């Protein structure tokens, strides 16, 4: 719960501040809306003035309803016909949902923190350079706990092995399934699922076996204690995000001329988790509840993605209540079969219609980046009004051009009804009625045959843009990731060239230094494959000197140990294998390779440190002979970050 000063809310009205109040986000929205127009410049229009008056009246009614009711009201007929009710009725609400809580809330979750911390301990580094400082602090405290406890390292190894075995696309989907599961966990120390598996989202049940491993890891590292130590940072981030989120919701409601409902049986919740990548937004719909997990940095998030989810929260019940009318748009699905749309949108006219309307709203209300034109305060309007009016028209033409270009791009993405709704919204903006009262006419008056003909003329893009509510596609490999893949496939020259290219980039940033160490590691393995052991040794030593990545460090020690074994220097090789065990990264293949090296000297076919080993097994050890390591096969190397056990 966030604490606000009453004077902060009412300072424009000059009201006294008798004491401190604790206000939830919906109550803040209701109060904030009443004074929002004092500092937000809206287009002057008698119609908008009437609409705003109606909105304030509805907000006042909402406040009165909230003050006289301590339990949430039953969902309306429209709410019961929402997308969630239609397609996700079997899913129970996440554990962080308070049935008696506010409709809209901004919060943090210890369960999400614990899962995110475990992912970070197992090599999840996405967006680390751009993340808030608290992410590095938590990682450092976990590393300190791991260094002190063998049991903690063992528990880390178990959970990391599970995560490695359940990688799917290499993209954000790998992370989102664990975040989805975390939303259904009870707080520690129990940490059990809060619903039956049949009532949970399918992606979360795919990794539910991680729960006991997570519970043991949390206890071994004392992640609950770390959470208590950093929780105040999460509260501070929530304070900084509160005003921008409030303004976004108020702006959206004002444009749609909808009241901010305090209790309607549905929830919109924003969960902050700085341990995740700032570029990743996990937005989910669970039953009638909409949850967005974001990673704030300096009080900022990707508000456009949060707003997109909020528009789903607002629009879906309105259109699902008119599902029968939308069903007549089925013929249009035939025209979008070649569009780069998600299968759900290509096979169901209702989700497609919802997304098209949302795209149209976003195009009509987008920030075009063009500064708003204002007539100078000291201008003589009686003499220069024609010039100012001409300049205002030029400004509006530029704004409209950007909005139209956005709308046309949406058409080529397959959202073929966007233009229809875009034109309808222009009419809607001039009327006092709310979207709730207008949406029926928009849907029923659509000429489906005309829209089908229009869609047939569109040339669709080959690739789709990202969507916050659509699961990500497999990650396209670039840079050193692609170099790793090339090396694994045996294309040593290309992998080496890409690694050398990475070394030409000189910068003092953490990301640049990390890439340099990784490039040296790739070049060292390429040198092994081409039979240049001296270059390989030099590359691994440079990696050890520059990298802080436990995986690169561990495998550099392992490869050095193998080369020393082949050079008949067993004692030095053992030192390297033991160093790998000490700095292991939590991955099963790393531990097995290091333990195998400690147990038995690495050898390849046709090589031995005993000259008489083939003739007399019982003969006395001969003097080790100097030999260069033979080139290893590609499969003996570390393809895509792991070795075959």
> Does 558 fall in a domain?
yes
Per-residue model confidence as pLDDT tens digits over 207-240: 999 999 999 999 999 999 999 999 999 999 999 9
Span of 57-71, 89-103, 328-342, 476-490 with lowest mean pLDDT: 57-71
DSSP one-letter string for 434-484: -HHHHHHHHHHT--HHHHHHHHHT----SSPPP-TTSPPPPPPP-HHHHHH
* Rounded Cα–Cα distance for residues 596 and 577 (Å): 9
> Does 518 fall in a domain?
yes
Q: Which of 233, 266, 284 is a domain's end point?
A: 233
Q: Which of 215, 233, 251 is a domain's end point?
A: 233
Q: In this prediction, what percent of the chain has a pLDDT beyond 90?
A: 48
- First-to-last C-alpha distance (Å) of the chain: 49
pLDDT computed for residue 147 by the predictor: 86
Q: How many CB atoms lie within 10 A of CB 181?
A: 24
Mean predicted confidence (pLDDT) in 618-637: 42
pLDDT computed for residue 438 by the predictor: 94
Range of the domain at 484: 479-641
Q: Which of 193, 214, 233 is a domain's end point?
A: 233
> Does 261 fall in a domain?
no
pLDDT computed for residue 262 by the predictor: 56
Per-residue model confidence as pLDDT tens digits over 249-258: 999 999 999 8
CATH code at 566?
1.25.40.10
Flag whether pLDDT at 628 surpasses 90.
no
> Does 466 fall in a domain?
no
pLDDT computed for residue 626 by the predictor: 44
Flag whether pLDDT at 310 surpasses 70.
yes
Average pLDDT over the chain reads 79
- Max avg pLDDT among 86-100, 137-151, 278-292, 582-596: 137-151
* Rounded Cα–Cα distance for residues 402 and 379 (Å): 29
The residue ranges of DSSP E strands in 318-373, in sequence order, are: none
Q: Please, are residues 530 and 631 in contact by the beta-carbon 8 Å criterion?
A: yes
> Does 265 fall in a domain?
no
Residue 199's pLDDT band (boundaries 50, 70, 90)? confident
Flag whether pLDDT at 353 surpasses 60.
yes
Flag whether pLDDT at 391 surpasses 50.
yes
- Quote the number of domains for the chain: 2
> Does 350 fall in a domain?
no
> Does 10 fall in a domain?
no
- Max avg pLDDT among 406-415, 585-594, 604-613: 406-415
Q: Please, are residues 103 and 253 in contact by the beta-carbon 8 Å criterion?
A: no
> Does 450 fall in a domain?
no
pLDDT computed for residue 407 by the predictor: 96
User: Tokens for 97?
Assistant: 């949902």
């Amino acid at each position: 719960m966030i604490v606000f000063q009453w004077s902060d809310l009412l300072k424009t009205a000059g009201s006294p501040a008798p004491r401190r109040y604790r206000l939830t986000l919906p109550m803040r929205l209701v109060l904030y809306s009443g004074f929002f127009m004092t500092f937000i410049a809206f287009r002057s229009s008698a119609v908008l003035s009437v609409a705003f008056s109606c909105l304030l009246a509805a907000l006042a009614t909402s406040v009165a309803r909230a003050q006289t009711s301590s339990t949430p009201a039953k969902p309306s007929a429209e709410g019961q016909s929402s997308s969630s009710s239609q397609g996700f009725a079997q899913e129970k609400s996440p554990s962080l949902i308070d049935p008696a809580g506010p409709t809209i809330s901004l919060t943090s979750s210890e369960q999400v923190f614990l899962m995110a911390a475990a992912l970070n301990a197992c090599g999840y580094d996405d967006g680390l350079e751009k993340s808030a400082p608290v992410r590095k602090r938590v990682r450092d405290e976990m590393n300190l706990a791991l260094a002190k406890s063998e049991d903690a390292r063992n528990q880390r190894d178990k959970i990391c092995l599970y995560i490695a075995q359940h990688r799917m696309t290499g993209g954000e989907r790998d992370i989102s399934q664990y975040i989805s599961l975390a939303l259904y966990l009870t707080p520690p120390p129990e940490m059990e699922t809060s619903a039956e598996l049949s009532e949970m989202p399918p992606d979360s049940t795919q990794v539910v076996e991680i729960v006991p491993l997570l519970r043991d890891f949390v206890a071994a590292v004392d992640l609950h204690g770390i959470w208590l130590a950093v929780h105040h940072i999460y509260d501070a981030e929530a304070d900084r995000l509160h005003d921008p989120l409030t303004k976004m919701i108020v702006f959206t409601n004002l444009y749609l001329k909808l009241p901010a409902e305090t209790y309607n049986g549905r929830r919109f919740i924003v969960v902050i988790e700085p341990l995740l990548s700032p570029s990743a937004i996990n937005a989910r719909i669970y039953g009638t509840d909409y949850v967005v997990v974001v990673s704030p940095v300096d009080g900022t998030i990707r508000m456009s993605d949060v707003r997109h989810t909020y528009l789903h929260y607002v629009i879906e019940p309105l259109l699902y209540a008119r599902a029968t009318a939308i069903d007549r748009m089925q013929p249009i699905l035939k025209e979008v079969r070649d569009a780069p749309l998600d299968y759900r949108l290509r096979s169901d006219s209702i989700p497609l219609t919802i997304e098209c309307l949302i795209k149209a709203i976003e195009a009509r209300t987008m920030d075009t980046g063009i500064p708003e034109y204002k007539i100078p305060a000291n201008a003589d309007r009686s003499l220069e009004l024609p010039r100012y009016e001409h300049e205002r028209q030029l400004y509006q033409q530029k704004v409209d051009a950007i909005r139209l270009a956005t709308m046309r791009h949406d058409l080529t993405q397959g959202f073929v009804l966007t233009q229809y709704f875009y034109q309808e919204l222009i009419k809607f903006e001039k009327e006092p009625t709310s979207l709730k009262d207008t949406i029926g006419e928009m849907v029923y008056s659509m000429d489906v045959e005309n829209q089908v003909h229009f869609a047939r003329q569109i040339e669709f893009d080959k690739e789709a843009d990202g969507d916050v509510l659509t699961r990500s596609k497999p990650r396209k490999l670039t840079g050193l990731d692609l170099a790793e893949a090339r090396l694994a496939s045996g294309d040593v020259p290309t992998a080496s060239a890409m690694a050398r290219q990475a070394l030409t980039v000189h910068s003092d940033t953490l990301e640049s230094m990390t890439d340099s160490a990784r490039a040296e590691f790739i070049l060292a393995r390429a040198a092994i494959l081409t039979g240049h052991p001296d270059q390989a040794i030099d590359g691994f030593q440079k990696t050890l000197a520059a990298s802080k990545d436990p995986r690169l460090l561990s495998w550099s020690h392992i490869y050095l140990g193998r080369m020393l074994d082949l050079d008949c220097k067993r004692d030095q090789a053992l030192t390297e294998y033991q160093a790998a065990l000490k700095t292991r990264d939590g991955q099963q293949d790393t531990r097995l390779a290091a333990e195998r090296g400690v147990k038995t000297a690495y050898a390849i076919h046709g090589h031995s440190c005993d000259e008489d080993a083939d003739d007399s097994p019982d003969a006395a050890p001969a003097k080790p002979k100097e030999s260069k390591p033979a080139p290893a096969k590609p499969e003996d190397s570390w393809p895509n970050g792991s070795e075959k056990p």
